[in-house]
């Protein structure tokens, strides 16, 4: 089998898909992250994909090495492109052999995958009602953003507002609902210590990105103030970025992103290293259907994954949900807070290719919101 061609699709609200075709009529799909550099990712994907024309799509590791190990390696643009191509190759291989990708990764280690639902939280809102809604729909875990903008040193009034929001969920649902609290890297070390300690009384499932990953040395200091599990990893873009995390041993939950770290096999390798260090895995996957489907393949074959992020039901600026582009919508049907293991070949997706092609005619523009502190200084979002 040989790779004969490819096509890149810009899909609202913020997704970039790639389809790789072969001479035997089998095509595979991958997904890349747009961020604020959509044009760079699209152009880079087209340039990289040309390099694998006439290659054997089964040689996934060999192609990964060829694409990743350039002189200027790593970086989020390069690695998300490699990730999308790598996913598509696994999709081809699974379809050819008629099995889900996880069967090629050693097989299933579980019967189902626990998922959590996102409920907002950074702006004043009734998160208790949101959590109740998810509980009524069968979820037993949610994740919320902790806070809006916080300066290096800020008002305890803002800290108290966060405490009250988390407390409202505990008061309504008790410990029948697990709560992940995401600092989203928007909290600096001085206030992160305060906020983490104040939230410990509610026994969160984990505290995520209590500081930005470039300030990872602060994880150790914050861990000395709380016993709550700390999580990070969604912005790290290769297994080498995780080396210090494993070495320090302070983080309890890593969150690699299959669309950023190099693809399915790279995510599996990172999870295996985490298992060696007795760390849990909760993969980052807030994007489209292809990235989520690829992540579920990793989850199925990875024993230290304990929960999965997903964004089903979140409608963005154009009103699209990830299910709008999927024909076999049952692949993402959740029951009692779990999703069944995928059972169709490859990534398990049957995509609405006509809709993808139609939406892709419009140029994609996505940028993250720009936040400012009360004094006009830039704030992390």
Tell me the catalytic residues. 184, 284
* 274, 252 Cβ separation under 8 angstroms: no
Give burial (CB, 10 Å; 0-12/13-18/19+) of 198. Answer: middle
Whole-angstrom distance, CA of residue 174 vs CA of residue 232: 26
Percent helix, percent strand, percent coil in the chain, to nearest 5:
40, 20, 40
* 187, 198 Cβ separation under 8 angstroms: no
First to last CA, the chain: 45
* 164, 146 Cβ separation under 8 angstroms: no
Whole-angstrom distance, CA of residue 9 vs CA of residue 361: 8
The secondary structure of 66-111 as a DSSP string is HHH-SSS--SHHHHHHHHHHHHHHHHHHHHHHTSBGGGGGT--S-S
Whole-angstrom distance, CA of residue 9 vs CA of residue 11: 6
Any residues with CB less than 8 A from the CB of 247 and at least 6 apart, and which? none
């Amino acid at each position: 089998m040989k790779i004969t061609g490819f096509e890149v699709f810009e899909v609202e609200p913020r997704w970039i898909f790639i389809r790789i075709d072969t001479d035997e009529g089998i095509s595979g799909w991958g997904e890349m992250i747009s961020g604020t550099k959509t044009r760079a990712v699209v152009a880079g994907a087209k340039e990289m994909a040309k390099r694998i024309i006439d290659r054997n799509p089964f040689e996934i590791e060999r192609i990964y090495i060829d694409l990743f190990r350039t002189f200027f390696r790593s970086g989020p643009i390069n690695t998300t492109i490699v990730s999308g191509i790598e996913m598509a190759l696994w999709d081809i291989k699974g379809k050819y052999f008629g099995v889900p990708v996880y069967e090629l990764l050693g097989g299933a280690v579980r019967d189902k995958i626990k998922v959590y639902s996102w409920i907002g939280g950074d702006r004043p809102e009734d998160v208790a009602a949101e959590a109740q809604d998810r509980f009524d729909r069968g979820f037993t875990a949610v994740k919320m953003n902790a806070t809006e903008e916080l300066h290096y040193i800020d008002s305890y009034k803002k800290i108290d507002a966060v405490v009250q929001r988390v407390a409202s969920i505990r008061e309504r649902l008790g410990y029948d609902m697990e709560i992940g609290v995401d600092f989203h890297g928007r909290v600096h070390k001085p206030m992160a210590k305060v906020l983490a300690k104040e939230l410990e009384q509610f026994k969160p499932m984990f505290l995520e990105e209590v500081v930005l990953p470039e300030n990872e040395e602060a994880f150790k200091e914050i861990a000395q103030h709380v016993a709550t599990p700390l999580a990070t990893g969604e912005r790290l873009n290769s297994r080498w970025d995780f080396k210090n995390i494993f070495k320090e041993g302070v983080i309890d939950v890593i969150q690699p992103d299959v669309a950023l770290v190099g693809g399915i096999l790279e995510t599996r390798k990172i999870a295996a290293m985490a298992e060696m260090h007795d760390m849990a895995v909760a993969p980052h996957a807030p994007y489209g259907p292809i990235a989520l489907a690829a992540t579920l393949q990793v989850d199925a074959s990875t024993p230290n994954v304990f929960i999965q992020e997903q964004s089903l039901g979140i409608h963005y600026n154009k009103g699209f949900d990830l299910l709008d582009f999927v024909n076999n919508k049952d692949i993402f049907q959740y029951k009692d807070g779990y999703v069944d293991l995928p059972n169709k070949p490859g990534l398990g997706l049957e995509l609405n290719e006509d809709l993808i092609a139609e939406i892709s005619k419009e140029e994609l523009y996505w940028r993250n919101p720009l936040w400012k502190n009360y004094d006009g200084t830039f704030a992390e979002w």
